[in-house]
Structure 1
Amino acid sequence: MKTLNYLETRPSSRYDEFDPNQDGDKNTKFADLIIDGRSLYQMLRKHDRVPSLGWGVQEHQRNMIDYFLLKKQHDYLYYRYPLLVCPWCGDEECGFISVYIEREDDMII
């Protein structure tokens, strides 16, 4: 039997309003991916990357959404999609964490 996970998004940011580390640093606001109630950003925070959804220019966001919905293949990652990206610019050249996504009937793997 396959395990089914519940995925949702939730508005979030790198720092909360009282965090002293946000002074002089970019407090990127993004759409956090919540998997079975757990924040992906918090689970992988040590890598200093933020989710690729919910911030950046509109065209970039449209591409990210199309990637995750498997409507469009990434230009050079093909079937891998940038999940967490640079919190300053979102550019994949600064480093990223990607995920392989495929569809099997009505299931996303």
Structure 2
Amino acid sequence: MKQINNLQTVPSSRYDDHDPEQEGNKNTKFADLIIDGRSLYQMLKQHDMVLSLGWGSKEYQRLLIDYFLLKETHPYLYYRYPILVCPWCGVEECGFISVHIEREEDLVIWSEFKLEPGNKPISIGPFYFKWIDYEKVINDTFGTAGIQ
């Protein structure tokens, strides 16, 4: 049997209040995803990207939520979705981390995390979430950092 992971969301930012690295850098605010008590942002922080959820324009946030809820497929990644993006602009051309998302009945599975461009595997996951809990958490990311 697959271990079901617990998923939560919390507001987060690229830098802590007293982090000297934030001077002259964009301190992007976003919706962090907490998996079994561990921050996904912190797990992948060495790649200097932020989670794609919870920030940007209203349209961008809705599109990302639709991707993560499998209502829309990505135009060229299909069932892979940008989960961490450039903290300056969120544009995929700057590089991103993608995840394969699939649904099997009442489970959502995140697997095959990859650093793009280059399709380089990242050793994290897979994660299994109950659909009913997952859907609420993903929807709750909307507006975490406001609308830009």
Give the whole-Å Cα distance in 1 for the aligned partners of 2:107 and 2:21.
Answer: 40
Alignment of 1:59-78 (within 5 A): 59-78=59-78
Q: Deviations over 1:84-106 (max 9, x none)?
A: 00000000000000000000001
Task: Look up the match of 2:100.
Answer: 100
- Comparing both chains, which one has the higher relative contact order based on Cα–Cα distances under 8 Å and sequence gaps of 6 or more? 2
Task: Look up the match of 2:17.
Answer: 17
* Partner-residue secondary structure (3-state), 1:42: helix
- TM-score normalised by L of structure 2: 0.73
Task: Look up the match of 2:28.
Answer: 28
Unaligned residue ranges in structure 2 (runs of 5+): 110-148
* Partner-residue secondary structure (3-state), 2:73: coil
Question: Which one-letter code corresponds to 2:94 in the other structure?
Answer: C
Task: Look up the match of 1:8.
Answer: 8
Unaligned residue ranges in structure 1 (runs of 5+): none
Give identity over the alignment, percent: 74
- TM-score normalised by L of structure 1: 0.98
TM-superposed CA distance for 1:8, in Å, is 1.2
Give the whole-Å Cα distance in 2 for the aligned partners of 1:86 and 1:80.
Answer: 17
Q: Aligned Cα RMSD in Å?
A: 0.6
Task: Look up the match of 2:123.
Answer: none
Question: Which one-letter code corresponds to 2:67 in the other structure?
Answer: Y
